[in-house]
Amino acid sequence: MSGEGDTTLKSICYKPGSLQLLDQRKLPLETTYLEIRDAADGWSAIQEMVVRGAPAIAIAAALSLAVEVSNFSGFDGSSAEAVTFLENKLDYLVSSRPTAVNLADAALKLKQVIANALASSAAEPNSIFKAYIEAAENMLEDDVASNKAIGTFGSSLLRQQAKNPDKLSVLTHCNTGSLATAGYGTALGVIRALHTQGVLERAYCTETRPFNQGSRLTAFELVHEKIPATLIADSAAAALMKDGRVDGVIVGADRVASNGDTANKIGTYSLALCAKHHGIPFYVAAPLTSVDLSLSSGKEIVIEERTAKELLNTHGGLGERIAAPGISVWNPAFDVTPAELIAGIITEKGVITKNANDAFDISSFAKKVTGN
């Protein structure tokens, strides 16, 4: 599966009964794919950062269970027991990473699919498993189309807002490209679209401490796609903006509350504050599956804390220890950027802008574009 021909990197390689995930911990020096045989393998790959990025996490989880049931030699149980089996596995997979809403949203939709299959007059375990597998495979296909739409809407928005629509430089944080999705990207998809249109002067990417997704992954993708790009230290972003080198900041999202508050990789909030100070528009690019209308604000978003080793050791915790023994560590994986700092939220259905009260009405937007 690829979002852009043979040149786009694939984080997820799937065919019926087989799933391989690119081990992103080893990039950019080594390209290794891990075989995922069941939901337990999927859970470990997500929790251990083999695969990351909210859309990719959801799809990898769904497909890991699809592979498991595809390879059943036989299921000794009733149709109701097949549904219970799938539901329990989905709940287990959701526990791998709690902050990204896409995974929980995917699980909820897949539960509805198998519930509908159970209600069918022809319901039997095999038909329920088949319905689940088809739904999981459709998620893989739909993600690429969704990301390309985000790229189109986002590039148009940035050009409309830029002083020079034919010459833009954009700063991004963490990794939101083909490695974080099924094959195209959200925020990095917008950058890719600008480059394709011939109007991108330069993309700037932060190193994204402490796991270094920017220097290891985003930089790798930008070089791979031959996009003019520069890597900066996280702490250099304010100076870059002060020098007038940035026309816009665009990031992804792991969860967006109904008021527009957005959880994304730690350091995003700092970038938004810097952008506000320097009069630079700050955008979020994410599929509607990243929106959680059940949350009234970002205060309700659960923030995952990562292992202390990511700060204590080199290479995001994978190398030798560098910090003083005995030091305590606070290592949140995400922070929440208040809606007041966000100029627009770019989705596959269009751009969510603020109303006359300078507030996002995401609920009304979602109802309008989905009909629900």
Active site residues: 254
The 3-state DSSP class for residue 312 equals helix
Cis peptide before 210 (omega within 30 of 0): yes
R_g of the chain computed on alpha carbons: 20
Integer Cα distance of 106 and 237 in angstroms: 34
Q: 306 vs 214, 295, 323, 331, CA distance in Å?
A: 17, 23, 16, 6
Q: Name residues whose C-beta falls within 8 Å of residue 117's C-beta, 6 or more positions apart in sequence.
A: 83, 123, 127, 128, 131, 132
Extract the tokens encoding 255: 């969860």
Please classify residue 130 by burial: count the beta carbons closer than 10 Å to its beta carbon, then call 0-12 exposed, 13-18 middle and 19+ buried: middle
Q: Name residues whose C-beta falls within 8 Å of residue 250's C-beta, 6 or more positions apart in sequence.
A: 154, 158, 170, 171, 172, 187, 190, 191, 282, 283, 284, 285, 346
Integer Cα distance of 324 and 32 in angstroms: 33
Q: 222 vs 106, 227, 231, CA distance in Å?
A: 29, 5, 10
Query: Which H helix or E strand runs over 80?
Result: helix 79-94
Closest Cα partner for 231 from 218, 246, 242, 243?
218
